[in-house]
């Protein structure tokens, strides 16, 4: 989207008259102001998004990977302390809990498979075996859920780990179900209920309004195209200018962007503020209908971007998020990772000393045992 240098298109009262704007004119102004603000929001998000992803790739991910490298070293160091340091039974229980919890996070969330042997050492089960069991249970649950939802019977040997195979198999079963229903269904098709005269009149009115709205856009487009067609221009510089303007006209018409077309008319002085004031309310009615739809589309586009980032940040839908806040949050996360990395580096050096480990364990309290623990379904204890 090219940012517009034009001011918001507004209808102003005639200077020679003291009459106030009509309801349709006020509605037009309200919609154009809101569209202008929403456009700016969209441009801000479109500019911030690549910046965000660039910082993720260049700063956040490298810092996170380096931090996890040191966390893995820390786990290996604690494992050596468990085997080589003279620790009390309670200290060993604490160390076992710390190693188990943190290897779990690093393996599950960051694919640190090199820690699986250590995880298995401090747990009564094998990580991969438990994972296979959990995935099998999840597959059975998913299979039963889909069968109940679509009223079909899936094959027992279906591999649910492949989304493509699962989708193809489900579509095949649904086609079989539809074909069976069509063959066995001997009932007469249900006749559509006859629409009332009022319903038919309403549908016809809506169709006419839609046709008139589209006609309004086409009329403005034709006027712009007639004035800006570059093939009719002899001067090379002017032809280049009109070509660029015509590209903007075509892009706006392709999106049915009425406001952008009006802005272009004002830009090339095809119309002026007085022309907008003279537009009849009956015509503004169709303009406002188009502008309302345009505003809704812009709102939806902005909300989609915002919601995607709110999901990434685990933010509630009602909390305000702006592009500036997004980058600030990311910078805070990057700085936090760097601070934690520096802290962990110094801890690793100090943890080579048995007295340091014992002093640290003295202040660590074992968490209360949960009634039921599940490695792959419960919330993971954060590293820290």
- pLDDT tens profile 329-340: 999 999 999 999
What pLDDT was estimated at residue 382? 38
Q: How far is 8 from 28, CA to CA, in rounded Å?
A: 11
Residue where one domain finishes, among candidates 296, 313, 330: 313
Average pLDDT over every residue of 22-41: 92
Mean pLDDT value across the chain: 83
Chain segment 219-257, per-residue pLDDT in tens: 878 888 888 877 777 788 888 888 888 888 898 888 888
- Per-residue pLDDT at 187 exceeds 70: no
Looking at the structure, tell me whether residues 305 and 359 fall in a common domain.
no
What pLDDT was estimated at residue 239? 81
Looking at the structure, tell me whether residues 68 and 142 fall in a common domain.
no
Residue where one domain finishes, among candidates 293, 313, 333: 313
Looking at the structure, tell me whether residues 282 and 342 fall in a common domain.
no
Q: Report yes or no on 234 lying in a domain.
A: yes
Looking at the structure, tell me whether residues 209 and 105 fall in a common domain.
no
Looking at the structure, tell me whether residues 74 and 154 fall in a common domain.
no
Q: How far is 289 from 213, CA to CA, in rounded Å?
A: 7
Q: How distant is the alpha carbon of residue 286 from its chain centre?
A: 33
Q: What's the domain count of the chain?
A: 3
Average pLDDT over every residue of 80-98: 94
Q: Report yes or no on 277 lying in a domain.
A: yes
Q: Report yes or no on 3 lying in a domain.
A: no
Alpha-carbon distances of 320 from 298, 307, 317, 324, 373, rounded to whole Å: 18, 10, 8, 11, 36
- Per-residue pLDDT at 76 exceeds 70: yes
Looking at the structure, tell me whether residues 207 and 309 fall in a common domain.
yes
Q: Report yes or no on 347 lying in a domain.
A: yes
Give the pLDDT band of residue 61 (cuts 50, 70, 90): very high
What pLDDT was estimated at residue 63? 96
What pLDDT was estimated at residue 281? 84
Give the pLDDT band of residue 366 (cuts 50, 70, 90): confident
Q: How far is 7 from 275, CA to CA, in rounded Å?
A: 16
Looking at the structure, tell me whether residues 286 and 238 fall in a common domain.
yes
Q: Report yes or no on 232 lying in a domain.
A: yes
Domain that holds residue 308: 201-313
Q: What is the pTM of this model?
A: 0.68
Q: Which residue has the higher pLDDT, 122 or 278?
A: 122
Residue where one domain finishes, among candidates 283, 313, 343: 313
Q: Report yes or no on 186 lying in a domain.
A: no
Determine if residue 28 is left, alpha or beta; phi over 0 gives left, psi from -120 to 50 gives alpha, anything else beta. alpha
What pLDDT was estimated at residue 202? 61
Looking at the structure, tell me whether residues 303 and 329 fall in a common domain.
no
Give the least confident one: 15-29, 226-240, 369-383: 369-383
Q: Report yes or no on 189 lying in a domain.
A: no
Average pLDDT over every residue of 363-375: 67
Looking at the structure, tell me whether residues 36 and 117 fall in a common domain.
yes
Chain segment 118-167, per-residue pLDDT in tens: 999 999 999 999 988 888 888 888 888 888 888 888 887 777 777 778 78
Q: Report yes or no on 292 lying in a domain.
A: yes
Average pLDDT over every residue of 188-216: 61
Looking at the structure, tell me whether residues 42 and 105 fall in a common domain.
yes
Looking at the structure, tell me whether residues 215 and 286 fall in a common domain.
yes
Average pLDDT over every residue of 316-338: 95
Looking at the structure, tell me whether residues 219 and 296 fall in a common domain.
yes
- Per-residue pLDDT at 280 exceeds 60: yes
């Amino acid at each position: 989207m090219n940012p517009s240098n034009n001011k918001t298109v507004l209808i102003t009262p005639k200077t020679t008259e003291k009459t106030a704007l009509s309801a349709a004119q006020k509605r037009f102004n309200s919609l154009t102001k809101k569209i202008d603000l929403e456009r700016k929001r969209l441009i801000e998000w479109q500019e911030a998004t690549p910046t965000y992803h660039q910082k993720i790739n260049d700063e956040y991910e490298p810092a996170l990977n380096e931090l996890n490298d040191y966390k893995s070293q820390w786990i290996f160091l604690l494992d050596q302390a468990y085997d080589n340091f003279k620790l009390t039974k309670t200290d060993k229980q604490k160390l076992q809990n710390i190693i188990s919890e943190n290897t779990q996070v690093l393996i599950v969330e960051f694919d640190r498979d090199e820690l699986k042997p250590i995880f298995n050492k401090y747990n009564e089960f094998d990580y991969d075996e438990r994972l296979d069991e959990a995935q099998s249970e999840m597959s059975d649950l998913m299979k039963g859920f889909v069968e109940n939802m679509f009223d079909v019977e899936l094959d027992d040997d279906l591999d649910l780990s492949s989304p493509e195979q699962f989708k193809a198999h489900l579509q095949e079963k649904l086609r079989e179900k539809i074909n069976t229903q069509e063959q066995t269904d001997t009932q007469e098709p249900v006749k559509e209920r006859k629409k009332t005269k009022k319903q038919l009149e309403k549908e016809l009115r809506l169709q006419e309004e839609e046709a008139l709205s589209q006609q309004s856009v086409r009329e403005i487009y034709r006027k712009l195209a007639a004035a800006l067609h570059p093939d009719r221009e002899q001067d090379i510089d002017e032809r280049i200018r009109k070509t660029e303007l015509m590209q903007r006209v075509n892009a706006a018409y392709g999106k049915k962007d009425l406001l952008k077309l009006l802005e272009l008319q004002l830009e090339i002085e095809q119309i002026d503020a007085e022309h907008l004031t003279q537009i009849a309310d009956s015509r503004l009615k169709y303009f406002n209908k188009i502008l309302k739809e345009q505003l809704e589309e812009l709102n939806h586009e902005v909300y989609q971007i915002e919601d995607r980032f709110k999901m990434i940040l685990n933010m509630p839908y009602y909390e305000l998020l702006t592009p500036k806040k997004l980058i600030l949050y990311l910078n805070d996360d990057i700085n936090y990772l760097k601070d934690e990395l520096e802290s962990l580096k110094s801890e690793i050096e100090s943890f080579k000393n048995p007295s340091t480990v014992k002093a640290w364990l003295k202040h660590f309290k074992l968490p209360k045992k949960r009634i039921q623990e599940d490695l792959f379904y419960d919330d993971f204890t954060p590293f820290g």
